[in-house]
Structure 1
Amino acid sequence: MEPTSGPSRGTLQLEYDDVPMTGNSVQNIPATESAAGSSSQMFAHASQFQINNSTFQAAHTIINNRTVNNVWEKEVVPSGYQERMSNINSQPRPPDFIGRKDHISLLENHFIKGKSSAAQHKQKVYLLWGLGGSGKTQTALEFAFQFHDQFTKIWMIHAASESLIQASFYDIAKQINWPQPTWQAGKRWLEDHKEEWLVIYDNADNPELNLGKFLPSCRHGNVIITSRNAALIQLTGPYGSNTELKDMDHADAVQLLLSYAGMSHNTVVEDQVMAGKIVQTLHCFPLALVQAGAYIQQQHCLYGYLERFNSQRAHIMSINMSQSFDDYTLSVYSTWNLSWNKLHNSAQEFLKICSCMHFENIPREIFRRVVQNIDKVDQEHPGPLVHQVISLLDKLFSNSKEWNDIEMDKIISELQKFSLINVLQHGKTYNIHPLVHQWVFDGVQHYIDVIAAFLAVSMQELNGEEMSFVLQVQEHCKLVNALDFNEVFIWEAFARVVVTEWKLCEGIGFWRGIGPVFQWNAGESVWEVGRYNDALELEEPLLKLSEQVLGMEHPDTLTRTQNLAVTYRNLGRYNDALELQEPLLKLSEQVLGKEHLYTLTRTQNLAVTYRNLGRYNDALELQEPLLKLSEQVLGKENPDTLTRTQNLAVTYANLGRYNDALELEKPLLKLSEQVLGKEHPNTLGYTQNLANTFTYLGQYKDALELQEPLLKLSEQVHWQRTSRYSGPNAELGSNIWISGEIQGCT
């Protein structure tokens, strides 16, 4: 029967079942032993047929192609492909991974220990996100290397772009010997194999990339994503989790710096102290530490690094590394420039403005008020600076004369995608990493006079009920304290801040000249010059206002609570101090954590108050665990740890436990001489107290050996000795524990 349509009469039509072919079903089709010789047998019973060249071409195409979801796919090598690029063993691993133990533990709990019944048969996804250079890739790889035996396969997907993702999947297909591999085949292998495989999607930083479509569509397997984009949290699903990689612990940071400086095994105490100072300057940021360590190793300049950094910061932070354990040679600034170049102009301008303010607690309200006030300021005080402020607003918003929350949200959202900003207080304030803040500021220092005008515009039209806003902008105004402003509206606005601060805050004096010149910090605080009653008049209402405006848990409120407690104690009002310090410590532990530097300080200050009240056992209960924690967090050589060691010895002595005090004070003195030097006031104090302990134990010769040279040395450095035994309320020299624990208003 002839077909009514289709091929012409005499043409053989070949039909194929439309059945997808999987990797398990694909077989090579062997050639016939003698294709020519068997052709007569092959077509012996055929008549009126024709085979065109196109027929053989179609058959050849079918044999050499595969199908995915009923769509023919042909082997294509994706752009960016490198052999074994997805193989975890091809990824470089630093010989000594340092720190991030808490994050490794979180990953272990999520993927290995945390296999609850609900999530046991679900795909588990974990997002490691944070600023570029925070160590996301290294942390993910270290976890994979440590726990490789817990997974059947481990793959690395390079997720910077679609082409690299496809190239990585293509390599997976190659690695599993898939016949004529494609990137879809590599992805499908993961979906088809119900095993405990682990896939790391690394550097998924492009906010325009739809990463979700490249995740395996299945209910099994394990996925780690590393990205600067916190918005990828939405991909983790109900059984996923995430964590932000922030700055390293201080002790780990010192170890990392010295490791890359080639000094991890041959350091003395002085090296550790200097490394600690460098680490503090670099805010414990991993890539900055690696870069600094490499520079120190090349230039042999551990003790000269900070001087070079302070004088040529932008240059130092821009030097790419010539060698690296993990093939990552970009500098800190080069790394962040990759993010900067992807930002829209409005987001860049926002960062420039913020870089001229303090890096913490930048109020969103500043920007709203500038938009609200700019027209009136332009009418009353027209001039170049005001016009530059208007120009800034034009770069930020499509309509600079009308506030638009949606446009502001877009700017913040874009910066969050690169972890360049943190949002606090439900979107009311913003924080920027200190190094990011410096990086942007290094390129826009000429902006600072414009930002002074920007801040001044935000402070126009303030009424009595808006003094809380003045409190929010204090720290930002102080950063422009060195300028002489030739615009009346600027110095008037800044004078308003100073007057408010004088009445309500730290009591800093100010001077306003007859001319249009404003100077910020013409006097010392009353607290610093010992006028404690005057300080009290400022601090009591300030604390109440801070609690009302900022809330009980705000860091500034906690600081002002501590300052008031210190003032009470300096006035001998120990019970009043205690009423503040006990709840303050609990709140500080909840808000900041037990290991935070401010929490450690507040613990010590409460212990000192207990001691002032004669409650030595209560002081001891705080000081013994505090010293252990301080050694863990800061290290034994840290000056604060030295101070806390002496304070514990003081309490032992108060309890008559002189031998226990001696066990602390003898090594303390040696360490202080090494770290601080023999002429340092703290070292002199430690010497005097050790001598007094020898005296109380009847070891007069040992005491004399310390006291005779101490007297000569103290006369040379004009040291006013203040021993804990010299009066009824004296301790290791109040000068020591005050300078070590209280200054800085913590």
Structure 2
Amino acid sequence: MPPRNKNFTGRDGLLTRLRNGIVDQDTAAVVPHALHGLGGVGKTQMAIEYAHRFRENYDLVWWIPADQPGLVRATLAQLAPRLGVPGPTTTGIEDSSNAVLEALRRGDPYSRWLLIFDNADEPADLQEVMPQGPGHVLITSRNHTWESVVDTVAVDVFPRAESMEFFKKRMRRAISDEDADRLSEALGDLPLALEQAAALQTETGMLAREYLRLLEERTSRLLSEGRPTEYPHSMTAAWELSVAKLKEYLPEAMELLRTCAFFGPEPIPRAVFYPVKGPIRQGTTTLLADPIRLGKAIGRLGKYALVRIEAEANEHRTLQVHRLIQALLREELDPAVQEEIREEVHSLLIGAAPQDPADTANWPRYEALLPHIRPAKVEESTRSDVRDFALNVLTYLSASGNHQALDQHLEIFLERWTADSGERDLHVLRAQRIRGNLLRELGQFQAAFDVDKGTLATMRDELGEAHPDVLILLNGIGADLRAQGEFGEAREHDEDSVRLHRQVLGEQDLLTFRAINNLALDLALMSEYQRSRDLLKEALTRAQAEGQALNRVTLLNLWTGLGRAVRQCGDYQEACDVGTEALGYGREYFDADHPRILLAQKELAIALMRAGDREEALELAEDTHARYMRVYGLDSPWTLAAATCLANALRANGQPEKAFDLARDTARRYPGVYGPDHPYNHGCASNVALLYRVLGQPKEARELNEKALKGVESKLSRGHHYALSIAVNLASDYAALDDLDQACALGLDTYRRLTELLGENHPTTLAAAANLSVDLIRAGETEEGQRLSSATMERYHRTLGEEHPDTIVAGEGRHLDWDFDPPPV
């Protein structure tokens, strides 16, 4: 909350009316209330006073600047730590703000809350972020359309008595009723104009009659010049008087104020005003180079009530200029001077921005600068350094997960830059690359691929094959191909990408490690598990040797990927060991809801389940799925993968009914994310089929598995691990239906293919062999079946051990089931 205004005056009737309207609402749902009125009448100050006056009625009050709708979610997300939900540094702004809205709706942990949306424009802008639940919402706006949407309290200029009371409270010396009345009359009782007048008289010692004489001269001139009617003449005249005195006493403070007019109306970080490179007017350069003079200028602006100076909770000071004063300052300048100052603001923004926008430690600084990007018209600049800064802002928005603001800024930057510089401009291409990443994060895989493919072709034409920008984009293309189910094409693409990365950047570059991680994913998706394992083991060893020089997220990705590859090779206990180490490393540096932590946790849950630690696996899978649900929502590909893991863990722990419901719901959602023909859809369908058989419906299981096997074969091949895993289950379906001929034929073919693909000791091969031995014995091939059973049990004892659940099931002559867990793309 902004601090309480010690000079707040009057408005008791309006505040009482507002309070009665809020507390008398009949419904448990939120009924927003709005303070509506013209600029300068004190709507914001009333909202601040309401929050402080009635603070004992609330456990939580949160202030949200709402003039830029795309930034509202960022402010909501900052509330997350107070509500015990994931913050924006771990889950991204959009997901974090959704978690905040849900916590407010539930009233957990606070049911008595107040949210204030200051200076909202269109009601539609806040539709998706207006909280529901037991709390209260207060809006301030100049837009009269709110009157037809919410309960509105109109705020007008002061009644004369309150104007006079304000002067007596605000001015440090005594003022007569007559002078207070004359001043109020001349200033139209407009609170902002009264504040300007009182500040100027207090600081300069000017008498009321002198101020009135000068004000009359200014007002007459303004009226004769026909100044725009959207600004009250009294306000304009009062402002010009303050400016005239400021120029007289400290002219450089006036130049600083003009600079502030080209920022946004939200708080400007004090840290912006330091010597920087780039176009800066000479007077500003001199002022910024003298901290004593600069401090004096800022102090004088505050004393004249032209700037509000505040210290935030973290002790970082900010300057804030009323939007009406900003508009008046800009209006008095020639277009050429406006452009000159705007260039200066761009230089100051660049100087205040940290170098690495993906580093979470730098996000608060970017968040503070973000409200000033649009007002400063950053998109209009053709300077290379300004556009680099704009791209860093986009990278910050992407890394923090603020998809709404990212989409809005991307659209603006791309439209203007393309119009000014053409589609082949490097900054345009870099923004298009970020757009492709955004589309992929939103699950729009085909659209992402189309954008990335077109951007890559142009980048190659403009920059050549080996340019770093081209190499960065190559990784995105590989992800697009995997998301489309084109695993073989993705592997070929990423093999070329790794070769180029090594050739251009070397083995130890961050981008090279990322490319290797992507290639390892491709190899595993093509059943080349051992090669994936070897590649990741080598990369992780080199990455760990780099220590702090390597990005921790990349290191955790490699570590988690290695654990997955070890598991896919069939070494379950080793996979648990590697996965535990990876998760432990990640927890040292990241929040429990960080996406990389959740991925590491899910992979460890799968490894534990495969190793036979089923209860621990279920506990971990339930926690992971719950976190994914809260952070990403129900239909995210990441949540669906976690749901698949949980369903498998439920089945392994003897809860097939719950597993079936979750698996079937998940399988229904998968085509909406990946499209109808993706191998993951068929793999998840096979999980549902497996549960049909477990629940005593083998016919439904067979039909669904036959369809799933055909789908995987058409996309990959019959010799792919996914297809062979489904075939293991389908053979069990045939056996359950007493079709032993088909069961034995399919089982024998699958066993031979798995032996060739994964080796005779791989757990999938052992499951196929154990099932086949049972079916052979039932079909009358007793000798062959017993011989295969004996050899299989020997390998089970040697690889998984006598106490492993799979060893026990095989030894009892029961069929083993093989479920599917989709890896990340």
Q: TM-score, normalised by structure 2?
A: 0.38
Q: Which has the higher contact order (CA 8 A, sep 6+)?
A: 1
Which structure has the highest helix share of the two? 2
Q: TM-score, normalised by structure 1?
A: 0.41
